[in-house]
């Protein structure tokens, strides 16, 4: 490669790596796998090695990624929190050993290693003065990090006071365990919140919250793996330091293997690779460190990495196996996911017999057929994936797969809407979706049943008291009281809240049913026009699609929902329990009849919901967007683009005081 061509390639790689590093370190939202990033970085390193004149200080090969997030104070690390040089083969580990061994002979130093798991989380420094935790900071760019002391105080495994009054700075990795991560994502799915891409980014995002209450609600853990600063340390051994840290209260990396030879190092790396599936936390490699602290000083560091340690990254493993069948599973949001049933195969330390095929488009893109020989790959702690079909092994007996048209769990229609990759079950009583349906039904935006949150619903389901939405109104004080010790008062309050919910507004009930694409605004439109649940149930597609703010897709979703036997059955049960099915006519007067309001900015005396209710009680309508048909824009503090648009269209803009004058 010529210099000019190399210069162009280096520029392109740096731009790509900077972009992906920003997504990973600063936004905690990776767009490519660690392996893809590592391969890109290796390509850049190789080019810089071949053309050293192209190396610059701002290259990611020379610095650590990551910046200080706005809202956090900067912390200058007295001892830099460096990155590690990654290697991907035993040959590279041998090169490291040869280099270190050569210097050990020259310096007359005894050479031993410690091999540890490379925990997949967020690196932090913890500072203690006289045994008391005083400050904690993220790694940041290695030299400057973020002060996250208050957030770290919420991590239960970080000791606030040590068993000995020493002044020390240690480095650890904050992470979320595998099971805790799965549980957290399950809960987010039920609550309709976006899922975390992986446990590392969930941990990083949780720790870098400006509100420490959010951090406290997340299942964060920490393992300490290094002493950064400890004046007059009595130890010259990294391994002995770790054992001491355990004795004085730190939770130390549980996998630390003392090795005397290169052969033992390789054996330790292989052992960690074999056992990684049994670990309760995710790892992205194994770290090989020189044990002697005095020898580390002699080995020194580069600008970015220490010369006394490397990180071995386990390469992705791929194997062939048979795709025996494709079955469909229904998730808690109704999404129907095809799963590959495979001939069991040992891959990256675990036996794989099934894996997700994501959706219909994935199957078509890979041209998968039942009976195919396929190649599956697993990298790190990532879910194994089918990456290709071995088409030359086809016999002609393979079968095409088609997504089901009905839900495999409840038999309700399975629908794939235009523009979406997912196929969904639309049955409201589908057992696979029960938890999510119950949580949404009882939520503030739904029937607003105070006290009936995710955790309580989960417990009631586990005890067999809740199987569907209607069961909420069958609960007794005794059922609820059985959840808690001395839970009679809580149970009484919850049953009262359930009873009170029977008188909720019609729009709240419509929204609580969880009809796809229907939120509070659309629910209000439906309640205002149809007046009763019976009228809405009978509404034709044509009638629905001509309503304001309801397009054909939403109309079809509503129409299909009310044609399900499950929906009819649920509504009949709710009626029998006395749940309100009619719009409450509370019109005070019709002074705003024919008038449309848009609210923007922060109001002093009213919440958005209170102002909207007042407008509707006086015959008016509230819209979310400004148009020529808008009658008034009610503007509070910090009004944004809606105010600007209203000014450009000549729409009447009123203050909160003027709004009150209109009401009087």
Contact (Cβ atoms closer than 8 angstroms) between residue 357 and residue 339: yes
Name the 3-class secondary structure at 131.
coil
Contact (Cβ atoms closer than 8 angstroms) between residue 206 and residue 215: yes
Strands 309-312 and 132-138: unpaired
Q: What is the pLDDT of residues 233-280, one digit of tens each?
A: 999 999 999 999 999 999 999 999 999 999 999 999 999 988 888 899
pLDDT score for 304: 81
Q: Which DSSP letter does residue 256 get?
A: E
- Helix ranges (DSSP H) in 428-476: 434-442, 454-462
pLDDT score for 192: 76
For residue 228, the tally of other CB atoms under 10 A from its CB is 16
Q: Retrieve residue 138's tokens.
A: 């993220």
**Distance (Å, rounded) from C-alpha 336 to C-alpha 628?**
43
CA-derived radius of gyration, the chain: 30
pLDDT score for 102: 96
The distance of Cα 475 from the centroid of its chain, to the nearest Å, equals 33
Contacts from 102-107 at CB under 8 Å and sequence distance 24+? 103/298, 103/299, 104/295, 107/295, 107/298
For residue 408, the tally of other CB atoms under 10 A from its CB is 14
> What percentage of the chain reaches a pLDDT higher than 90?
63
pLDDT score for 623: 86
Q: What is the pLDDT of residues 600-628, one digit of tens each?
A: 988 888 888 788 888 988 888 888 889 98
pLDDT under 50 in the chain at which residues? none
Instruction: Catalogue all structural domains in the chain, each as residue range(s) with its CATH number.
Output: 3-54 (1.10.287.610), 74-312 (3.30.470.30), 317-393 (2.40.50.140), 426-576 (1.10.150.20), 596-663 (3.40.50.10190)
pLDDT score for 401: 95
3-state helix, strand, coil in the chain (%, to 5): 40, 20, 40
**Distance (Å, rounded) from C-alpha 14 to C-alpha 472?**
57
Query: Mind spelling out the 3-state secondary structure of 395-406?
Result: CCCCECCCCCCE
For residue 10, the tally of other CB atoms under 10 A from its CB is 20
CA dist 108 → 102, 103, 292, 294 (Å): 10, 8, 12, 12
Q: What is the pLDDT of residues 510-550, one digit of tens each?
A: 999 999 889 898 999 999 889 999 999 999 999 998 887 78
- Helix ranges (DSSP H) in 350-397: 360-366
Q: What is the pLDDT of residues 6-50, one digit of tens each?
A: 888 888 888 888 887 777 666 656 667 666 777 788 888 888 878
pLDDT score for 69: 53
pLDDT score for 19: 80
Q: What is the pTM of this model?
A: 0.67
Instruction: Give me the active site residues, please.
Output: 118
The distance of Cα 457 from the centroid of its chain, to the nearest Å, equals 22
């Amino acid at each position: 490669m010529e210099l000019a061509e190399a210069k162009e390639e280096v520029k392109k790689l740096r731009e790509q790596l900077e972009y992906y590093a920003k997504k990973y370190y600063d936004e905690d939202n990776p767009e490519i796998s660690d392996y893809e990033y590592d391969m890109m970085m290796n390509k850049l390193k190789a080019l810089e090695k071949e053309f050293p004149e192209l190396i610059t200080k701002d290259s990611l090969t020379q610095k650590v990624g990551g910046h200080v997030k706005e809202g956090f104070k900067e912390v200058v690390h007295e001892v830099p929190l460096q990155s590690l040089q990654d290697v991907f083969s035993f040959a590279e580990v041998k090169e490291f050993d040869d280099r270190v061994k050569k210097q050990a002979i020259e310096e007359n130093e005894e050479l031993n290693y410690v091999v540890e798991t490379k925990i997949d989380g967020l690196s932090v420094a913890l500072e203690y003065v006289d045994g008391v935790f005083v400050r904690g900071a993220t790694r940041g760019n290695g030299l400057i990090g973020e002060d996250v002391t208050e957030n770290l105080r919420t991590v239960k495994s970080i000791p606030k006071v040590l068993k000995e009054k020493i002044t020390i700075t240690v480095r650890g990795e904050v992470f979320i365990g595998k099971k805790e991560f799965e549980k957290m994502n399950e809960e987010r799915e039920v609550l309709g919140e976006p899922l975390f891409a992986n446990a590392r980014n969930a941990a990083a995002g949780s720790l870098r919250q400006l509100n420490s209450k959010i951090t406290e609600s997340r299942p964060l853990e920490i393992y300490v793996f290094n002493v950064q600063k400890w004046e007059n340390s009595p130890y010259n051994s990294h391994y002995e330091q770790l054992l001491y840290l355990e004795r004085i209260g730190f939770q130390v990396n549980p996998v630390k293997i003392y090795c005397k030879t290169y052969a033992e190092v390789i054996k330790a790396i292989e052992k960690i690779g074999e056992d990684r599936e049994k670990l309760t936390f995710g790892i992205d490699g194994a770290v090989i460190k020189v044990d002697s602290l005095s020898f580390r000083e002699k080995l020194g560091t580069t600008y970015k990495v220490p010369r006394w340690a490397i990180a071995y990254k386990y390469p992705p493993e791929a194997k062939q196996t048979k795709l025996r069948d494709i079955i469909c599973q229904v998730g808690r949001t109704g999404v129907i996911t095809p799963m590959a049933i495979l001939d069991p195969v040992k891959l990256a330390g675990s036996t794989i017999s099934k894996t997700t095929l994501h959706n219909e488009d994935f199957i078509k893109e890979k041209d998968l057929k039942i009976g195919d020989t396929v190649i599956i790959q697993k990298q790190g702690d990532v879910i194994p994936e089918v990456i290709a079909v071995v088409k030359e092994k086809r016999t002609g007996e393979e079968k095409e797969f088609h997504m089901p048209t009905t839900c495999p769990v409840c038999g309700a229609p399975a629908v794939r809407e235009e523009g979406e990759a997912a196929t969904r079950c639309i049955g409201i009583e589908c057992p696979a979706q029960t938890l999510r349906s119950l949580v949404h039904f009882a939520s503030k935006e739904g029937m607003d049943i105070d006290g009936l949150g995710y955790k309580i619903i989960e417990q009631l389901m586990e005890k067999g008291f809740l199987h569907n939405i209607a069961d909420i109104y069958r609960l007794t004080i005794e059922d609820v009281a059985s959840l808690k010790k001395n839970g009679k008062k809580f149970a009484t309050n919850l049953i009262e809240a359930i009873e009170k919910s029977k008188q909720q507004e019609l729009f709240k009930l419509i929204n609580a049913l969880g009809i796809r694409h229907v939120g509070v605004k659309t629910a209000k439109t439906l309640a205002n026009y149809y007046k009763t649940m019976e009228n809405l149930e009978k509404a034709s597609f044509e009638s629905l699609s001509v309503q304001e703010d309801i397009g054909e897709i939403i109309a079809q979703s509503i129409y299909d929902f009310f044609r399900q036997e499950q929906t009819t059955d649920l509504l009949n049960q709710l009626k029998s329990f006395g749940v309100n099915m009619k719009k409450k006519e509370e019109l005070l007067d019709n002074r705003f009849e024919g008038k449309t309001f848009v609210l923007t900015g922060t109001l002093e005396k009213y919440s958005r919901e209170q102002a909207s209710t007042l407008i509707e009680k006086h015959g008016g309508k509230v819209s979310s967007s400004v148009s020529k048909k808008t009658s008034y824009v009610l503007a509070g503090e910090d009004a944004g683009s809606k105010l600007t648009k209203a000014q450009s269209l000549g729409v009447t803009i009123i203050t909160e005081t003027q709004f009150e004058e209109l009401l009087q």
